[in-house]
Amino acid sequence: QKEVEQDPGPLSVPEGAIVSLNCTYSNSAFQYFMWYRQYSRKGPELLMYTYSSGNKEDGRFTAQVDKSSKYISLFIRDSQPSDSATYLCAMSATGNQFYFGTGTSLTVIP
Amino acid sequence: GAVVSQHPSWVICKSGTSVKIECRSLDFQATTMFWYRQFPKQSLMLMATSNEGSKATYEQGVEKDKFLINHASLTLSTLTVTSAHPEDSSFYICSASPTSGSRYEQYFGPGTRLTVT
């Protein structure tokens, strides 16, 4: 079983839609949770991070962590064509080693 | 802030030659840098963790004699792929954690695409 599972998609939505991206994990020791955005042929860009459980909001982006279910989500409101990218979740127990999901490819159609 | 650069961004080399990739943190000091490999439509695979002034820690299955990592300063780490073969062709990405930052902070470089012919 992989440490982190993420649906690769692809996911295609119309502009303005709410997007929900999810990851599940198996290691209950994970306590650092991150979301990265990666454009084609570029390095990942840190979007949001959370420590332990709870929600965090930053503009159009909301990250949720449910440690009891070992499930994390990233919501994108009012999605824009510029949001089209691959979104990677990542998590860590100690902050020293990070485990990445395979990424979900998102296309926002104008 | 928190910019990481990689050089070169794209390199083609012949089988059997060695290639060096540089990773620099431009506006912060990084005690720890990470090297990843990414295949098309796959996630990042951690190859090794390098700490300034000490030997790198390699992940299981990564040949340390083939992928030489040097972290000589707080702003520079290098990855040398020795005796490259076509199966080493991949996208190599480095990341750096600021010395004064939180544990989650990891800033990625733009990646280096290596093609071995």
pLDDT at B103: 63
B66: which 2 tokens? 């083939």
What average pLDDT does range B2-23 have in this prediction? 95
B5: which 2 tokens? 């650069």
Contacts of B32 in chain A (CB under 8 A): 96
Residue A1 or residue B10, greater confidence = B10
CB-nearest partner of B103 from A32, A43, A102: A32
CA proximity to B12, closest of B77, B71, B81: B81
Contact A92 B46 (CB under 8 A): no
A19: which 2 tokens? 């997007």
What average pLDDT does range B10-26 have in this prediction? 96
Average pLDDT, chain B: 91
Is residue A86 a contact partner of residue A104, using CB atoms and an 8 Å limit? yes
**3-state SS of chain B?**
CCCEEEECCEEEECCCCCEEEEEEECCCCEEEEEEEEECCCCCEEEEEEEECCCCCEECCCCCCCCEEEEEEECCEEEEEECCCCHHHCEEEEEEEEECCCCCCCCEECCCEEEEEC
Give the model confidence (pLDDT) of B77-91 as tens digits.
999 999 999 999 999
Give the model confidence (pLDDT) of A31-79 as tens digits.
999 999 999 888 899 899 888 888 999 999 999 999 999 999 999 999 9
Contacts of B6 in chain A (CB under 8 A): 43
Contacts of B104 in chain A (CB under 8 A): 32, 34, 49, 51, 92, 95
